[in-house]
Structure 1
Amino acid sequence: MRHGPPSEASAHRALRAALTALALCACAGPPAPRTGSADATPVARKVPHVVSSPNGDREDPYYWLRDDTRSRKDVLDHLRAENAYYARAMAPLQAQAERLYGEITSRIAPDDAGVPVRERHCWYQTRYADGAAYPRFVRRCGSQTADEQLLLDETALAAGHAYYHVRSRVVSPDERLLAYAEDTAGRYQCTIRIRNLASGETLPDEIRGTSGAIVWADDNRTLFYVENDPVTLATRRVRRHALGTDAVADVTVYEEPDDRYYVDLARTGDDRFLVIQLDSRSTSEVRYLPANALLAPWRILAPRESGIEYDVDHVDGSWIVRSNWQAPDFRIVQVDDANVGDKRGWREVVAAQEGTSIERMTVFRDYLALGERSDGRRGIRIVDRHSGRQFHLGSDAADDTATLGDNRVQDTDELRYEITSLITPPSTYRLDLRSGERTLLKQARVPGYDASAYEAVRIRIDARDGTRIPVSLAYRKGLRADGTAPLLQLGYGAYGVSSDPRFDPAYASLLDRGFVLAVAHVRGGGELGGAWHDAGKLLHKQNTFDDFVDVTRALVAAGYADRSKVFAAGRSAGGLLMGAIANQAPQDYRALAAGVPFVDVLTTMLDPSVPTTTNEYEEWGDPREKPYYDYLRAYSPYDNVGAHDYPALYVTTSLNDSQVQYYEPAKWVARLRATKTDSRPLLFKIDMDGGHNGKSGRFGRQRETAQMYAFFLDQLKPSTD
């Protein structure tokens, strides 16, 4: 199926905070230092503020750092002071950081291009030229040897923007128009524009405030899109737009009443239907419309039922459904067009298998390609839709990741898929589904890199409760497990998202300096199916943190690392993991890097006005209920900062981040500075232009990685603690 791209204070609280501030203003604490003050550590002033909830009130003296407008002078001055302090502290390390950046980017081909992907009558390709940071999107129609046509030049579009990203591109059924969604702030708030591909003209249509999800109708004059809530940024409504009309008049065809649900759009692989996909963290619903019947009512394929998830595609008069109904780790069923609306009409096509989780499907005319996970590893299963014959794809590597590729044509016997690992660059293959013949189409070019110099393995480690935790390891061949190596351990552990081993051109810069790289597949992720996720969410979240620490201790005990040279890093929910272990096991880590970290969990989950909060209740719990309030308060990194020694800390955020608001790490860093008892570095870098994933362009992330690596390598110097 072809997809489009993939909120505060009450009057009582404000009055109480104001009265408290008047009474205690003399205790507000010292002002933040001037941005240019030599070597002065930024100190955030304290302003009394009470965060109220049905289950108790908490003092939050750094709440003032929240500014939803991102324009208040006192807040911006403090963030700039932090950036100035970061720049002064990192100045002695800049030469090292530049060397690392040079190494990493030297492994990125300056003129790289993706494998052409067929859709209808054209082959589409993403291409980078002459070391450009942004891609060009091109196509050839009729055959792969036809003249190349430029669709979008993202470098030109990005000119004048501090941040720019095309989040989705969808070509009309007649292949003459391109709708694309551009994000110029990094907040997943996109503007949809439409380009005439024959003339290159950008039409006057402009649709603002969208998620970037787009589907065209068969008339080539109408498109549907998802509109975001202007405050919470929640994906709220599906609207219909006719070319040449004012978007203000666009008709709402669906509005989701439940704030827990995400709204997305897709078009089925046979091009017959448009689909609204509705997903909470645990429940799904699909609505569909014939692509040639714009004014017909949208029908429900199966009504939402708590805990039942499903997604669909359509072929030969039937819907193919991947669902966890009566199968916790999913199975494949089929329902004829005449029997939609009732799960009793579902017929099983591929049964659930114990120990195997079906995570994705691609539907062909004669075959199903299933992205599945067994024993924690991702692989691919091929099923003949007519005979039921099955076979599996994979490789002989000890710890690789095999995933379904970009397959947009249903009436074909060819499958695209990809294999990669921590040390193996991504390799794209074509499989003849009838003969089983496999052809390597491309392995990503990595100049100067020799994969044979490294080794990647998967091991298991016992957590404190006896659970076996998978761990992916990479190191240079010849490593002696004698307890002398530095270790970088990565982790995430949330939302059922798996930290599959994938290649990153930056890893070699640490491996070549003697590091062991470890990816801890902790509970809360999806590596071992739905039960693995369930064991690390809601009232079981502490398992995520315990698993990560237990992996660290076991690797040290096994001689993979020197206990005084252990580093860890995580982003977003992985940043929460870093914050938790900093409080709970600081003695186990030399330094931690927390990127856009979700560290003020309790306050954020109490506030439905914060973007994504309501969507997250099924992952973290709703703290308006006391059991969840107490549990969240017990591990929330911000609420548990203590007067003890911490590892060296490297913290980053983005001012425009819509997923984890900048003020969470800003408050956390302020409390750490005022509370921790050690003199180890605490650096806080704020990207004033980027979004949740940092800067735009393909080199921005590498520069950020080089800075983090330079910080880590500096911490390997003999300790003066």
Structure 2
Amino acid sequence: MTNFIQPPKAKQLLKTLSIHDDDRNDDYYWLNDKENQEVIEYLNAENQYYDAVTSKYKDFETTLFEEMKARIKEDDESVPYKYNGYWYIVKYEIGKDYPIYIRKKDTLDNPEELLFDCNVMAAGHDYFKLVGLSVSPDNTMIAFGTDTVGRRNYTLQIKSLVTDELYSDAIPNTTGSATWANDNKTLFYTVKDEKTLRSDKVLKHKLGSASANDTLVFHEEDDTFGVAVYKSKSKKYLIIACYSTLTNEYHILKADTPDEDFTVFQERVRGLEYSIAHYGNQFYIVTNADGAVNFKLMKTPENDTHLNHWTEVLPHREEVLLEDIDIFKDFLVISERTNGLNHIRIKRWDGTDDYYLPFDNETYTAFTSTNVEFETNILRYGYNSMTTPSSSIDFNMVTKEKTILKEQEVLDPNFDKDNYASERVWATSTDGTKVPISMVYKKGIKKDGTNPVLLYAYGSYGHTIDPYFSSIRLSLLDRGFIYAIAHVRGGEYLGRMWYEGGKLLQKKNTFTDFIECSKYVIAEQYTSSEHLYALGGSAGGLLIGAVINEAPELYKGVIAAVPFVDVVTTMLDDSIPLTTGEYDEWGNPNDKTYYDYIKSYSPYDNVKKQEYPHILITTGLHDSQVQYWEPAKWVAKLRTYKTDQNKLLLKTNMKAGHGGASGRFEALKEDAEEYAFLLDLENIHA
């Protein structure tokens, strides 16, 4: 069909970008202006082309959407958690796209109090997001943030839980989160720089006063850092967190004295990462101090918080990544990762008990979840695997009994988790490094090279993609697909060094790992290049772009969602949201060494005259993380350079940002579009 429908052709206006005595010619730089009507017309033309090319399987797309939706329980609610005398619950109702937040006082038998009905709040908006719910210590007020554009720029408001009325002030341009001092009238919140959207200031608001009179408490002037403010679980301290990719700094203030000044916990030292948790008269610190690459646990007296006073609680271990801790009155809970697998360790403060929760799989995910109560013996954690729906579990740390509170329901009479199998295999990258791949498929497949495989990866920021269950994914598995996650370097699946080995001047390891994982599933006859597909989003979209420039012959088709592909230009423009905070991840191209390296893999800069696989690219007009023009420019350039007749499709959501559609089921439509694209390439339409 693509042979008979003419794709849009973006006009070429040469712009030369020069630095380090190097010229880059960019014919599509002009697309970087959404106020230009020609830009909007081009994006609309690409959408019309997308609609025309995909029209032949629109009915199938609808079938997929309805199938995905039918597996999800519409009248659903979260497992209640208790905080400060109230049980908090999020529920969904049949036919409604947004959550409803409620609470119940003391016991679950008491009548519910409505906090927010997002279905009502979203009325009249194409996009709606509620975040940052923060209840005052006396339970009478709640602060919250709303975004009606999708740019993650939230308006902060306060609602009375007594009268159900909103206070008059609406504070724009915030992160949406806020925290209360213990006096029930002082609120601390973070605001964003209007241009770069970096969270750079902490302000103090007094209930009843105009926001124009709010006091600036902290200003983060280093544009590679962001800030946040929150309260310790012990409720004793207000904490300002200053963070960058490689460095942390915290400032603390007793929550009973909000008008005093914050004091620095430990001043920033480049490369020193740490996080803090308060307990008794101590702070506990997860840190990489003293070369603890995989982190260790230390503690310090609350009145002597400088690094010199930190003492070791749990030592650094070469083979174990210390990811996080949860503090309870009688227990310390430690989240660890060994050989890629999650482990939860429970240790009594008095030393009388120390054990791990048992898990016996290689493709599972386990994590501590909502544990806001301090004086409890109950640990709440979540568990799922690639074949097992997610469960929420309460574990009694004294009796060691567990109660499964809820297992995700899959409303499909034909679903049986025993019909699926998962495994973890290891590919070998070009430098000899073993790279794990988690995969799931319907039992009975044969390794004869004919199975379609969707290989997914992310591989940046130390963000680990754990093997997880997805009811949506069943629409692929039940039609013969194998779904695989390549745990490439750049994440932290195999520890901190796994991340270090896939960033800055080693970033290309991420791409070669993925390519070698692709070759592995072909060599082992899980699939062939005629049936192999690749998927990645955001920084994972960069991965897809780099891979198809380097090894396009391995793939029948690829999907790049909100892809970060114009790396050099973006990283040289410090006015773009989030750029300066990214220097420690990608390198600062104002330095020629990093410029040359980034330019050597940047997908947009390396498009070449060659055959490419079928490509679907998605973006959002209001995206604040990867601006829409990156994928738009990439598509325009690919159209000029590619020498094949394969599909090249750009779908722009003209009403959303980085996260796509906001409604619970609207987002499923985007999943259905992606799956329909893949299944059509396999000639599967039912």
TM-score band, normalised by the shorter chain?
over 0.9
Contact 2:186 2:204 in 1 (8 A): yes
Contact 2:134 2:177 in 1 (8 A): no
How far apart in 2 are the matches of 1:371 and 1:602? 37
How far apart in 1 are the matches of 2:86 and 2:237? 21
Structure 1 residue 630 and structure 2 residue 596: aligned? yes
1:146-545 aligned within 5 A: 146-326=110-290, 327-340=292-305, 342-387=306-351, 389-448=353-412, 449-545=415-511
One-letter amino acid matched to 2:112: E
Query: What SS is found at the alignment partner of 1:170?
Result: strand
Q: 1:81 aligns with which of 40, 45, 49?
A: 45
- TM-score using structure 2 length: 0.97
One-letter amino acid matched to 2:169: D
1:644 offset after TM fit, Å?
0.4
One-letter amino acid matched to 2:296: R
Contact 1:205 1:243 in 2 (8 A): no
1:55 offset after TM fit, Å?
4.9
Q: 2:569 aligns with which of 594, 603, 608?
A: 603
How far apart in 1 are the matches of 2:127 and 2:547? 33
1:50 offset after TM fit, Å?
1.8
Structure 1 residue 693 and structure 2 residue 659: aligned? yes
Quick one: percent identity of the two aligned structures?
Answer: 40
For residues 360-413 of structure 1, give each alpha carbon's deviation from its aligned partner in whole angstroms, at most 9, with x where no partner exists: 111111111122111011221112122163211242233101001110011111
1:288 offset after TM fit, Å?
0.8
How far apart in 1 are the matches of 2:339 and 2:452? 28
How far apart in 1 are the matches of 2:618 and 2:644? 20
Contact 1:53 1:606 in 2 (8 A): no
Q: 1:639 aligns with which of 587, 605, 608?
A: 605
Q: 1:583 aligns with which of 531, 535, 549?
A: 549
Query: What SS is found at the alignment partner of 1:471?
Result: strand
One-letter amino acid matched to 2:182: D
For residues 197-246 of structure 1, give each alpha carbon's deviation from its aligned partner in whole angstroms, at most 9, with x where no partner exists: 12211111211000112111111111111010000000110001112222
Query: What SS is found at the alignment partner of 2:170?
Result: strand
One-letter amino acid matched to 1:673: R
Contact 1:365 1:411 in 2 (8 A): yes
Query: What SS is found at the alignment partner of 2:167?
Result: strand
Aligned to 1:8: none
Aligned to 1:652: 618
1:683 offset after TM fit, Å?
0.5
Contact 2:341 2:362 in 1 (8 A): no
Query: What SS is found at the alignment partner of 1:556?
Result: helix
One-letter amino acid matched to 2:294: D
How far apart in 1 are the matches of 2:200 and 2:616? 36
Aligned to 2:679: 713
Query: What SS is found at the alignment partner of 1:57?
Result: strand
How far apart in 2 are the matches of 1:249 and 1:53? 44
How far apart in 2 are the matches of 1:248 and 1:456? 56
1:44 offset after TM fit, Å?
0.4
Structure 1 residue 674 and structure 2 residue 643: aligned? no
How far apart in 2 are the matches of 1:555 and 1:48? 42
Range with greater deviation from structure 2 (475-484 or 183-192): 475-484
Unaligned runs of 5+ in 2: none
How far apart in 2 are the matches of 1:167 and 1:203? 17
1:321 offset after TM fit, Å?
1.1
How far apart in 1 are the matches of 2:370 and 2:321? 21
Aligned to 1:53: 19
RMSD, aligned α-carbons = 1.2
Query: What SS is found at the alignment partner of 1:452?
Result: helix
Query: What SS is found at the alignment partner of 1:202?
Result: coil
For residues 249-288 of structure 1, give each alpha carbon's deviation from its aligned partner in whole angstroms, at most 9, with x where no partner exists: 2111000011111211211011011111111001101111
Query: What SS is found at the alignment partner of 1:210?
Result: strand
One-letter amino acid matched to 1:336: P
1:134 offset after TM fit, Å?
0.4
1:83 offset after TM fit, Å?
0.6
Contact 1:651 1:685 in 2 (8 A): yes
Contact 2:133 2:177 in 1 (8 A): no
How far apart in 2 are the matches of 1:205 and 1:103? 44
Unaligned runs of 5+ in 1: 1-37
How far apart in 1 are the matches of 2:352 and 2:557? 52
1:216 to 1:55, Cα distance in 2 relative to 1, 3 A = farther
1:294 offset after TM fit, Å?
1.4
Aligned to 1:619: 585
Aligned to 1:24: none
For residues 559-606 of structure 1, give each alpha carbon's deviation from its aligned partner in whole angstroms, at most 9, with x where no partner exists: 111331000100000000010111000000000000000000000001
How far apart in 2 are the matches of 1:264 and 1:361? 19
Aligned to 2:512: 546
Contact 1:596 1:652 in 2 (8 A): yes
1:347 offset after TM fit, Å?
1.8
Query: What SS is found at the alignment partner of 2:530?
Result: helix
Contact 1:379 1:401 in 2 (8 A): no
